[in-house]
Amino acid sequence: MVPVAVVETIAELRAGVSDPSARGERIALVPTLGALHDGHLALIRRAAEVADFVVVSIFVNPLQFGPTEDLDRYPRTLDDDLAKLEPLGVPVVFAPTVDEMYPSGPSQTRVVAGEVGSLFEGNSRAGHFDGVLTVVTKLLNIVRPGVVVFGQKDAQQVYLVQRMVDDLNFPVTVETVPIVREPDGLALSSRNRFLDDDARRAAVKLSASLQAAAASAHLGTQAVLAAARSILADEPLVKLDYLTVVQPQSFLPVDDDYRGRALVLVAANVGGTRLIDNELITLS
């Protein structure tokens, strides 16, 4: 196996992708915060399928963390991450410091996520998506990939990145990979490591609530929400933040008369750890 090349500066990264770009190879970017798990590895495998040269970024972006959020607590596990990436043949990991990405301090120029960016996760985490879109823009400008790969678990993020790409005419394709789950249904997340045994058992109720929602899809939106809430209501460790059904093309809530494809979103604090999940359903 060829060791992964770890690049820490923008200049070095641009030099590293210049040769494959000159050869006409398609470059894929997989942006991550690190603390990689099998969900991330699924993104990287997909990137290798749709491109010739894969760049994985590992950067805990301070712009997307609020003042009361877990920026300092978020796991930094670069050595372990590299060990997971090496068997996949990833040629380059971009692992910049905060000073490299924001040499003059927090970016004064930011991409604003708009109305949808203030809903759901954006309502609970003010400014989160502005920070996400700003760092994604920087990464796209640094790497200049033909495709950028995200996971469906972060459905609102994927929607907003796709909208930004469309609105601002970025020459990149957004590829979305389905959620990777544990055998009991829990969506993989870097934050799962913070769950103790009781919280881990409680956390599976999120995916169970989505399964109940999907089973009630033929009865309409209110039945979907009621079925999901019934699963969550009897678990004291699950503190529900939001549960909603949105139209995938607008990411706005649907009413009970809506029929067609829809996305059920759930977010909760489970034993002190914030988790999100979602499920695509068909209301008929």
Q: Annotated catalytic, 128?
A: no
Residue with structure tokens 């502005």? 130
| Distance between CA atoms of residues 275 and 205, nearest Å | 11
Q: Which H or E element spans position 21? A: helix 10-22
Beta bridge partners of residue 147, listed in sequence order: 28, 173
> Of the listed 37, 40, 128, 218, which one is catalytic?
40
Amino acid at 98: V
3-class DSSP state of 277: strand
**What is the helix (H) or strand (E) element at residue 169, kind and residue range?**
none
Report the alpha-carbon distance of residue 92 to residue 95 in Å, rounded: 9
Number of H helices, E strands in the chain: 10, 10
Q: Which helix (H) or strand (E) holds 238?
A: strand 238-247
Q: Are 103 and 16 in contact (CB under 8 A)?
A: no
Active site residue ranges = 40
